Amino acid sequence: MEFNTILNKARDLAGPANETISRLLDEFNAALPQIEALGFTVEGIQVTMGLLPEVSAKLIAAAAKVNVQILDEMINKKSEQKTLVTVLKALQTAYNVRDQLGDLGLGGIEIDLTLGLPPKISIGFLKGAAAATPPAVVTASA
């Protein structure tokens, strides 16, 4: 197969991929107020251009300040927001794993969210408390 043929096929794929990224960005923007209500702040955004573009966001919070008891309620209330629900379920899993490991002095939590094909979420716990200042009261209706 000639290089030009491969390049043309790649361009044909890029159009729908760009539309998907745009939709995912809209979903992320809609989810951001609820994620911030959990105590997270956006620490960085990265745009990667290639055959398939990606937008990555890094969010951090103090792990002890995230109210994990309201995650189920938020998931049920916001079930139509797929990006938010995926982040919330990933948080539940991360906290379950952390609870099984015991206290390792991991006071911060970081979400690395990549909006691309496929989208991916990575959650890590960090030494020391994160600098984020969460709101005083967080409810599922946030």
Helices (H), the chain: 3-37, 71-77, 82-101
Q: Within a 10 A sphere around the Cβ of 60, how many other Cβ atoms? A: 22
Q: Which residues pair with 58 in a beta bridge?
A: 44, 112
Q: Within a 10 A sphere around the Cβ of 69, how many other Cβ atoms? A: 9
For residue 91, give Cα distances in angstroms to 1, 35, 52, 88, 97: 45, 11, 27, 5, 10
Domain ranges of the chain: 3-127
Pairwise CA distance, residues 106 & 64, whole Å: 9
Q: Which residues pair with 113 in a beta bridge?
A: 57, 121
Claim: this prediction has a pTM higher than 0.85: no
Pairwise CA distance, residues 123 & 101, whole Å: 15
pLDDT in 10s for each residue of the chain, 142 residues:
465 565 566 556 556 666 777 787 888 888 889 899 888 999 988 888 777 778 889 999 988 888 888 888 899 998 888 888 999 999 999 988 888 887 777 788 999 998 877 889 999 888 865 544 444 333 343 3
Q: What's 39's DSSP letter?
A: T
Phi and psi angles of residue 114, each rounded to the nearest 5 degrees, phi first: -115, 120
